[in-house]
Structure 1
Amino acid sequence: MSAASRDAATGGSAPPGGPPAAVPAVRIRGLSRNFGPVRALGDVSFDVPAGEVTALLGENGAGKSTLLKILAGLQPPSDGGVTVFGEEVTSFDPSTMLGRHGVAIVPQELSLLPDRSVAENVLSGVEPGNRWFPSRRRMLERTTELLAELDLSLDPNASVRTLDLATQQLIVVARSIARGCRVLILDEPTAMLTPAEADRLFALMDKLKAAGTTMLYVSHRMPEVFRLADHIQVLRDGTHVASWRSADTTPDQAVAAMVGRELGQFTRRAERSAESSGEPMLKIRELSGRRHHGVSFDLRPGEILGVAGLPDSGRVEMLHNLFGGDRGTGGTVELLGKPYERRDPIASVERRLAFVPGERRAQGLLTTMSVGENIGALTTRTFSRFGLVRRRAFDTSAADQAKRLRVKTATMNQPITSLSGGNQQKAVLGRWLAINPDVLILDEPTRGVDIGAKAEIYEQLFALAQKGLAILCSSSDLPELLTLTDRIAVMSEGRLVEIVDTAEATEESIMALATGAMPAAA
């Protein structure tokens, strides 16, 4: 796209003889960033209008994270420039970007002091009083005033460690405002929030927008993008490819720009000719443990059984108990018709019970290893002889698995942390599929994954079920469960309240069961 075209698309210049264009909050011109021979961003240009919400969209690996890091001062560009409210940025570091230009970021991984109070976190770095002896009284007063301005009902004395993730995010926003933030960047802020928690964040965003704060919002979730954003900017393969006012486009157009093709709607599993039959591959009776009690269900070959429930429903703890990561307190498990009593992760691998955890970075990735080592981690013994790994066979197997799952990587020796979130997730899935499992357990299978990678993961799961794999899938994303599954087991307060046929379920009916608003069927 030419500079003139970009200016026309983003409102960067006024028509001849017309009124002068408003100065944008952020103007990005010709921004590029190289990492050795790899170009993460190439000649990106667009404006972020002042006092409005601009959504930044793109698949994982499109360059969004690199652009955000530049704007937050975490890394400099290789070429191009940025102005903030008309002032050119000459030093890309966090202190300058926030202190001089008023640009702050709420990252996916929050940087708070967990053992300090809300007040100490909100005013960290701008404490009233002197550096060595801040005034505790004035700190509480200022925090109380700020929280009231933002309509946040929080105890300024509360320890941050005791607060839920959604509240911690709100504290990071309040801290940014306390430091004079004029441009707030939010990077996938709802990825780990419940709908109710997300609504709290959206209410705060509405408040900030009314007060004149400019926001740059990154999300893979189209409904919230079109609920919040005034403008949409799209990156693909490190370049800027589209710019709209949100009122002038549709989610389908935005997705097509992101992935470079028409993707269409996901076809629900319930609408396919999917069948599951035969003796259960997994039989659970009265399974109990941390935060779950008396859970019973069967899982048959070729079936995808969903698990729904609020964060405190016990659904995640039940999965860990089933796999052997948590010690249960009661109940029985049969795997392929045989009792499975002394469950632990090693035994589960040996019995071909696979588990893709929901916390990818904390529980799934081997962050110090390469792509190939991550994918092949569970097959080392298969390719070992006399204690030595047959490296060529190991590498070939990992490469075949990566190709099958369309993991985009320059080489198999590339660090796993250098891949996009979607490709990391596919690599973790590939690791577990490499053991040829009979039963596959997944928790949040597409959390933090772009829509293109999500479609690929869905198709892989459908194909695996078609081949007879039994799949148990837990997710906080109700549309995902309605797309993926044959049946949905709904948990509430640690108990499985009902298993419903997906073809007859709706988001509203599942949520009603999960919250206790609808009694379970007799």
Structure 2
Amino acid sequence: MNTQTVILEMKNVTKSFYGVVALNDINFSLHKGEVHALLGENGAGKSTLMKILSGVYFPDAGRIFIDGNEYRFKNTVDARKAGIAIIHQELNLCENLSVADNMFLGRENPKFGILDSQSIKEQTQQILDSLSLSIAADSIVSTLPIAQKQMIEIAKAVSLNARILVMDEPTSSLTAAEEEVLFELIERLKKNGTTIVYISHKLSEVFRVCDRVTVLRDGEYIGTKDITEVTEESLIAMMVGRSITNVYPPSSHTIDRTKPRFEVKNLCASSYVKDAGFCVYPGEILGFSGLVGSGRTEIAKAVFGCLKKTGGSMFLDGNEVIIDNPQQAIKQGIAFVTEDRKLEGLALGLSVADNITASNYDLVSQAGVVQTKKSNSLISKGIEKLRVKTPGAKTHTGFLSGGNQQKVILARCLSKDIKLLILDEPTRGIDIGAKTEIYALMRELSAKGMAIIMISSELPEILGMCDRIAVMKSRRIVKILDKKDANQETVMTYAAGGSDVE
């Protein structure tokens, strides 16, 4: 890599939305053939800067230079012609079409009104083969795993002759093995001269694949460093403006294990969950770990009534409970923060206020009529308690950062008297600052006696926060480990091979 060859310069870029400054006089540059991390908390301005680069937004001020030539992108087509492509966290593929159809969507170039499907298929296969991807061009996208869909997006960018490729949280839905495939592909692209902007909240990845790093905070440029000049601690300090020494706050209370708060015996849910048994005590955080597809989320959904149970029984404070739907779970004092907050947890087109009061109308209404004073009080308390950063309660939830969207869901759940809180991937796609706030909240709630189930793909998170860990494989719980007996190697051994729970 020639670090002296500057391919991109963004100078004095400024952008505001409705009077709120999203970017203030930002300077950002890329060297040809480097992998450059762009870091910052949710709301720092990373996505806005990249949307300006890719032609989605037009800056209020500032200039863009590529290879020394100034560009003013009016739209995404202009940016694409200049060799810029962006792969969003939410993949943009047509699931019902083939890989080839997706690759050339909008660029079919028919002759005499006739589409040359064979030529498109051959060109697609050549691109896939050149990237050493074992994917057939005629495969229907919906039949492929998420990792291969991610690779298709990258191949699509390569087919556009992209010189600058932006990857936004590319590993958020990948397993460890799939991540390695992606990292190998990034290395090949880098050797071929492609410049990559890498956005991620996983700092381990940044040190694994990146050459330099730029940090934004609250729309301001904080600095650019070679990756060899920084540590994980110094990057966190740059991002949040302070040093965070205890990412995982220690537990400060003793768990009373005389009587479970919640107990499951022989739980089955068709082929999704097989003969699961576990309990969680008041004040305990019970973690669920395992490879993707092991059944972690399905157990949570079966408990909450989202999946139909085909066997087993559940007990809350020693009394058997029947939960066939989420409404019954909520009435029993069980709350569930889902894995996919955008699809299952929130109505993004509705306000923060509407999302907090959803499922809480029994608390703010009388004779079927919402009482404004009660409603406003519940909303204000939720925003204040969870420290939701929002211009106001009437702001559309879709405009908030990922971390603040997660806080809105928690504000809704915690408005009621909760006995069991189920958190499925509670920190996925959110920044380190918001993560530490959620961890601190979990400690606070458990100290008050709330039982918590935490499902996570992040082993350091599971090991750092949980009192016991239930390891799953093939839809079964194969081992429940005490915190003192658990480490990454032990958990992964059971997740990959495992033996029956004693």
Give the structure-1-normalised TM-score.
Answer: 0.93
Instruction: Report the counterpart of residue 13 of structure 2 in structure 1.
Output: 31
* Counterpart secondary structure, 1:47: strand
Query: Which residues of 2 match residues 278-293 of structure 1 at below 5 A?
Result: 278-289=258-269, 290-293=271-274
Instruction: Report the counterpart of residue 400 of structure 1 in structure 2.
Output: 381
Unaligned runs of 5+ in 2: none
Q: Distance in 2 between matches of 1:267 and 1:355?
A: 22
Instruction: Report the counterpart of residue 91 of structure 1 in structure 2.
Output: 73
Paired AA for residue 66 in structure 1: T
Give CA-to-partner distance per residue, 1:274-322, whole Å, 9 cap, x none. 4243411111001011421000011110000001111211111111010
In the alignment, does 2:472 pair up with 1:496? no
* Counterpart secondary structure, 2:404: helix
Instruction: Report the counterpart of residue 11 of structure 1 in structure 2.
Output: none
Q: Distance in 2 between matches of 1:126 and 1:315?
A: 41
Q: Distance in 2 between matches of 1:130 and 1:261?
A: 60
Paired AA for residue 282 in structure 2: P
Instruction: Report the counterpart of residue 124 of structure 1 in structure 2.
Output: 105
Q: Distance in 1 between matches of 2:287 and 2:116?
A: 52
Kindly state the Cα deviation for residue 232 of structure 1 after the two structures are TM-superposed.
0.4
Query: Which residues of 2 match residues 12-411 of structure 1 at below 5 A?
Result: 22-99=4-81, 101-127=82-108, 130=111, 132-267=113-248, 269=250, 272-289=252-269, 290-411=271-392
Q: Distance in 1 between matches of 2:60 and 2:71?
A: 14
Alignment check: 8 A CA contact 1:282 1:300 kept:
yes
* Counterpart secondary structure, 1:180: coil
Alignment check: 8 A CA contact 1:70 1:92 kept:
no
The CA RMSD measured in Å over matched residues stands at 1.6
- Structure 1 residues 480-489 or 388-397, which shifts more? 388-397
Q: Distance in 2 between matches of 1:493 and 1:131?
A: 53
Unaligned runs of 5+ in 1: 1-19
Instruction: Report the counterpart of residue 492 of structure 2 in structure 1.
Output: 511
Query: Which residues of 2 match residues 400-439 of structure 1 at below 5 A?
Result: 400-439=381-420
Instruction: Report the counterpart of residue 9 of structure 1 in structure 2.
Output: none
Paired AA for residue 466 in structure 2: T
Q: Distance in 1 between matches of 2:274 and 2:319?
A: 22
Kindly state the Cα deviation for residue 272 of structure 1 after the two structures are TM-superposed.
5.0
Alignment check: 8 A CA contact 2:477 2:501 kept:
no
Paired AA for residue 475 in structure 2: G
Between the two proteins, the alignment pairs up a number of residues equal to: 500
Q: Distance in 1 between matches of 2:389 and 2:249?
A: 26
Q: Distance in 2 between matches of 1:473 and 1:323?
A: 14
Kindly state the Cα deviation for residue 368 of structure 1 after the two structures are TM-superposed.
2.2
Q: Distance in 2 between matches of 1:34 and 1:506?
A: 46
Alignment check: 8 A CA contact 1:309 1:490 kept:
yes
Q: Distance in 2 between matches of 1:391 and 1:521?
A: 51
Residues 177 and 397 of structure 1: CA distance in aligned 2, closer, same or farther (over 3 Å): same
Alignment check: 8 A CA contact 1:128 1:138 kept:
no
Alignment check: 8 A CA contact 2:248 2:439 kept:
no
Q: Distance in 1 between matches of 2:112 and 2:102?
A: 15
Paired AA for residue 62 in structure 1: A
Residues 158 and 385 of structure 1: CA distance in aligned 2, closer, same or farther (over 3 Å): same
Paired AA for residue 493 in structure 1: S
* Counterpart secondary structure, 1:59: coil
* Counterpart secondary structure, 1:25: strand
Residues 56 and 274 of structure 1: CA distance in aligned 2, closer, same or farther (over 3 Å): farther
Kindly state the Cα deviation for residue 131 of structure 1 after the two structures are TM-superposed.
7.7
Q: Distance in 2 between matches of 1:130 and 1:480?
A: 55
Paired AA for residue 16 in structure 2: N
Give the structure-2-normalised TM-score.
Answer: 0.96
Q: Distance in 2 between matches of 1:130 and 1:72?
A: 30
Paired AA for residue 71 in structure 1: L
Residues 116 and 131 of structure 1: CA distance in aligned 2, closer, same or farther (over 3 Å): farther
* Counterpart secondary structure, 1:498: strand
Kindly state the Cα deviation for residue 405 of structure 1 after the two structures are TM-superposed.
1.2
* Counterpart secondary structure, 1:40: strand
- Structure 1 residues 433-442 or 86-95, which shifts more? 86-95
Instruction: Report the counterpart of residue 17 of structure 1 in structure 2.
Output: none
Kindly state the Cα deviation for residue 123 of structure 1 after the two structures are TM-superposed.
2.6
Alignment check: 8 A CA contact 2:215 2:239 kept:
yes
Give CA-to-partner distance per residue, 1:243-287, whole Å, 9 cap, x none. 101111111111101000001242464x75542434111110010
Residues 21 and 243 of structure 1: CA distance in aligned 2, closer, same or farther (over 3 Å): closer
Q: Distance in 2 between matches of 1:132 and 1:87?
A: 37
In the alignment, does 2:421 pair up with 1:440? yes
